[in-house]
Amino acid sequence: MTANPGDEATPPTGRILRVACFGDVVGRPGILVLERRLREVREAFRLDFVIANAENAEDGSGVTPAIATKLLAAGVDVMTSGDHIPRRRAVFPILAKRDRLLRPANYPPEFPGGGVTVVDAGEGDDAVPIAVVNVLGRLFMNTTLDCPFRAVDGALAECADRARVILVDVHAEATSEKVALGWHLDGRVSAVFGTHTHVPTADERILPRGTAYVTDIGMTGPHHSVIGRKIEPVLRKMITQVPERFVVATDDARATGAIFSIDSGTGRAVAVHRIQVALEGPLPTLPEPLEPSAPAAADESSAPSAVEEAPAVPAAGEKS
């Protein structure tokens, strides 16, 4: 777990929201682990909002209307996607609604749907608007899409004045591109998390201006596999170079992701924690609270000035 080093000097100004983000849902095993465990996870960790990347939910490639409905019923609030979203045209009408299922913001404007949505966490007077943004990387992705840096800037302008809590899914292959986007967005959004590689990284942190960052949050699917596919066909292809059909594996289903604790008043992250939930067995325990303890007396010499002086994360489109 990583907590904001400036927490002691900067007490929260709003309530702490807990947002869980789960990596690429791969096939039936990924859907099943969310259907069986997500409600329990939401209650155990007092989650306010859940994001899942549905990029590989339909047999490892794309998502269908039926699967989108299942994921929402399981407790997912917003689904993001990536380079496989064009594979299932039946889902285009759901994308066109621009609410619960996103496609990357740097797809052409003619492509159905959008790359940003704003959805309330909670109801009534307790409701807090949360913006979710989805962009696709270009390095090693065999794509000629628009620049993800400019696309994310445009997406933030699109949700201007609508949300202070903003999370960005960067669906990309290259770690360097994800890290660069994290720095590009530091202080402008609440959290940046990467998807696509299906392998979680251990670099969770909070950047100097209050944005939580993880290069990749991993995979929600069968972990006894090669990134979600049966092991034997992948080995044969790699060793012999003879084409094989890569079938979704079935064993050891787990949901892997991260929980971000975010100050709803400032939009700044105060903690980030990686999480992995198996299909069976007890839930993981967290080594530290999901939010900082009550602020201690400020020690001006102990916290880096760059953190102490960091402003609140502005609402999207607002000048910092």
Query: HSE (CB half, 13 Å, CA atoms) of 111?
Result: 19
In DSSP terms, 213 is beta-bridged to: 192, 205
Tell me how far apart the alpha carbons of residues 221 and 219 are, in angstroms, rounded to a whole number. 6
Angle at 256 between CA 254 and CA 262, to 5 degrees: 145
User: What dihedral do alpha carbons 172, 175, 181, 185 form, nearest 10°?
Assistant: 110
In the residue annotation, 84 being an active-site residue is answered as: yes
Nearest to 74 by CA among 122, 126, 118, 34: 34
Q: Spot the catalytic one: 84, 171, 196, 198.
A: 84
User: Beta strand 2-3 with 165-171: parallel, antiparallel or unpaired?
Assistant: unpaired
Kind of pairing between the strands at 269-278 and 78-80: unpaired
Number of continuous H segments (helices) and E segments (strands) in the chain: 7, 14
- Between CA 35 and CA 94 the distance in angstroms is 20
List the catalytic residues.
Answer: 84
